[in-house]
Copies of this chain bind each other. A is one copy, B any other.
Amino acid sequence: MVRAREAALELFSTQGYGATSMRQISERSAVSVGNLYHHFGSKETIYQQLLDDYWGRLLNPNDELQQLFERADFPDDLEEMAALIERSVDAHAPYIMLIFIDVVEFRGRHIHAFYESMPARFAATYQENFARKRREGRLGDANALVAVMLATRWLFYYFTVEKCFGVPMHFGMAPREAVEEFIRLLRFGVLPRTAAAMADASEARAVAKAT
């Protein structure tokens, strides 16, 4: 019943849940309405399964973005992280819409668990490496765990607005430039640094580009 799920994803993601009818899914997938109910039981089950598909893809250990998280090299790998998040949003754009559909049409019922478990997942992944980097003096006094979550969530949101909400250039510049600025901000902040610190900074930037 892969055909039906593909059709449902296309329709849900472009029209919303309520505005998509079982007859539309039936026509688009060439699966009769009765058969849809035989396999899924209800319309909401189709939606639920699609969301589960997305969580599965997102947390798949073979996914390139998941593998970057596993390396836990933040903030040195910020450039690569931004690139992979852009690709992830590109690849999963219709699925991402399901999240906002859930918020609007189901009051966030289906996404709660995922978002609530996020801090624990990040902590488990990054805790050790952050402790080591801090001992080595490679982190400032900001909370690096908050930083990596902020970076991840912000980049996902930025590309979602860009690619899913249909508001291109919503920072008044090309995504490449905007991302470059986001990364600079996350690494160095908006306040000035001394000459000595600037040297450290450009060195860190060189290292990041080299890897």
Contact = CB atoms under 8 A, between A and B. Distances in A.
A188 interface: yes
B139 A190 contact: yes
Contacts of A112: 166-167
B137 A192 contact: yes
Contact of A191 (B15, B16, B140, B196): B140
A63 interface: no
Contacts of A166: 107-108, 112
Nearest to A97: B104
Contact of A150 (B169, B185, B193): B185
Interface string A135-178: 00111111110110110001001000100111101111100001
Interface stretch (A28-36, A51-59, A197-205): A197-205
A194 interface: yes
Query: How many copies of this chain does the complex contain?
Result: 2
Contacts of A123: 172
Contacts of A189: 140, 142, 185-189
A30 B167 CA distance: 38
A16 B105 contact: yes
Contacts of A16: 16, 18, 104-105
A93 interface: no
Interface in A87-119: 97, 100-101, 103-105, 107-108, 111-112, 115-116, 118-119
Contacts of A144: 190
A152 to B, nearest CB: 11
10 contacts: A16-B16, A100-B100, A116-B169, A118-B170, A119-B172, A140-B190, A142-B188, A144-B190, A146-B171, A194-B194
Given A142-B190, A146-B173, 16 more contacts: A16-B16, A16-B18, A75-B191, A103-B165, A104-B105, A108-B167, A115-B167, A120-B172, A142-B184, A142-B189, A147-B190, A149-B171, A150-B181, A187-B191, A193-B194, A194-B200
